[in-house]
Amino acid sequence: MDIDKLVKMNILIDFYGELLTEKQKQVMHLYYNEDYSLSEISENLNISRQAVYDNLKRSEKILKSYEEKLKLVEKFEEKNAYIEQIYTGLVEIENEIISKQCSECVPKIKKIKEICRELLK
C-alpha cells in the first residue's frame, strides 16, 4: 500500500472515524491499523471479501467527503505550521538574547504575535 495513502487515511480516521458505523470502523481499523488483508478481514468478520472491499471504498469516500466539507485536517495542519513558526522564532530570539544581539528581537516578537493572532482565529 502507498505510504502516503496510509498516512492520509489514518489521519482521516483519527479525525472522523467516530462518524462511521461500527462495521465501517472495524474494517478500517483492521485494514489501516492492523494491516490485515481483505481476505483476513473477511474471515474475521464473517463477510465476503467483496463486502470488505465495498465497505473500505465506501468508508474512504465518506471520510474524504467529511474533510472536503469540514476541513478539520487542513485547519489542524495550518495551525501546526503556525506553531512551528512560533517555535522557530522563539529559538531565534533565545539565541540572539544569549549572544546579546537583541536589536533583532523586537521584529521577531511582533511576527510571533501576528502568528498567535492567526492561531486564535
Fold of 3-70: Arc Repressor Mutant, subunit A (1.10.10)
Q: For residue 121, how many C-alpha atoms fall within 13 Å in the half-sphere facing its CB?
A: 11
As a whole number, the mean pLDDT across the chain is 91
Q: How far are the Cα atoms of 33, 108, 117 from residue 7, in angstroms, in the given order? A: 10, 34, 30
Note the pLDDT tens digit of each residue in 69-118. 999 999 999 998 999 888 888 888 878 777 776 777 778 888 888 888 88
Identity of the amino acid at 75: K
Note the pLDDT tens digit of each residue in 59-78. 999 999 999 999 999 999 99
Report the alpha-carbon distance of residue 11 to residue 101 in Å, rounded: 42
Q: How far are the Cα atoms of 66, 70, 76 from residue 119, in angstroms, in the given order? A: 22, 18, 10
